[in-house]
């Protein structure tokens, strides 16, 4: 029987669910929210929560998370990513990205997206993680405001390999 570890971990991390652009509040604009996808050059929605494992140019393995956000200021915002295994251990080298307006792509609905980040997996072979379930999370920490985070359970795949 699968342990709902992500549900137990979510309140501790202050995670909020986000899958699409939020409705605008009357006075304050959209509520802060995030959506996780993947992509090195363009945001791609996750199909069946599958995340592609990529063999990198330096001989290692990584994933390429992408983020869409609404209601969050960009300048100075720090994005932090993590990938947790079923035991709650991180399986990637920590990655943080400090953003500015020129490091995101604005969306027509007032949000923005970030692509091109890489989470380097601490593995020697894709077989170590392909087919396994992980908790993929991203936290957005705006300057002087409360962080917003989202996490979802994903399966790592190697469809290109």
In a domain, 4, yes or no: no
Tell me which residue range forms the domain holding 86.
33-157
- pLDDT single digits (tens) 9-57: 454 445 444 444 555 445 567 899 999 999 999 999 998 999 999 999 8
CATH, residue 91: 2.60.40.2550
In a domain, 67, yes or no: yes
In a domain, 13, yes or no: no
- pLDDT single digits (tens) 141-153: 999 999 999 999 9
In a domain, 100, yes or no: yes
33-38 sheet: strands from edge to edge? 33-38, 65-70, 112-114, 105-106
In a domain, 76, yes or no: yes
pTM, full prediction: 0.81
Q: What is the pLDDT of residue 2?
A: 42
What is the pLDDT confidence band of residue 103, given thresholds at 50, 70 and 90? very high
Number of domains in the chain: 1
In a domain, 8, yes or no: no
60 exposed, middle or buried (CB, 10 Å; 0-12, 13-18, 19+)?
middle
Q: What is the 3-state secondary structure (H, E, C) of the chain?
A: CCCCHHHHHHHHHCECCCCCCCCEECCCEECCEEEEEECCCCCECCCCCEEECEECCCCCEEECEEEEEECCCCCCCEEEEEEECCCCCECECCEEEECCHHHCEECCCCCEEECCCCEEECCCCHHHCCCCEEEEEEEEECCCCCCEEEEEEEEEECCCC
In a domain, 19, yes or no: no
Q: Taking a C-beta distance cutoff of 8 angstroms, is the pair 13, 149 a contact?
A: yes
In a domain, 65, yes or no: yes
Mean pLDDT of the chain: 87
């Amino acid at each position: 029987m699968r342990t709902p570890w992500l549900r137990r971990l979510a309140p501790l991390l202050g995670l909020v669910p986000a899958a699409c652009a939020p409705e605008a509040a009357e006075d304050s604009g959209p509520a802060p929210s995030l959506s996780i996808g993947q992509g090195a050059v363009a945001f791609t929605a996750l199909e069946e929560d599958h995340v592609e494992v990529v063999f990198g140019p330096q001989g290692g393995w990584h994933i390429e998370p992408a983020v869409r956000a609404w209601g969050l200021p960009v300048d100075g915002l720090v994005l932090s990513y993590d990938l947790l295994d079923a035991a709650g251990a991180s399986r990637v080298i920590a990655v943080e990205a400090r953003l500015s307006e020129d490091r995101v792509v604005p969306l027509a609905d007032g949000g923005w997206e970030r692509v091109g980040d890489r989470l380097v997996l601490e593995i020697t072979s894709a077989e170590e993680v392909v087919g396994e379930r992980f908790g993929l999370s991203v936290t957005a920490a705006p300057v002087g405001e409360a962080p917003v985070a989202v996490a979802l359970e994903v399966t790592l795949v190697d469809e290109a390999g």
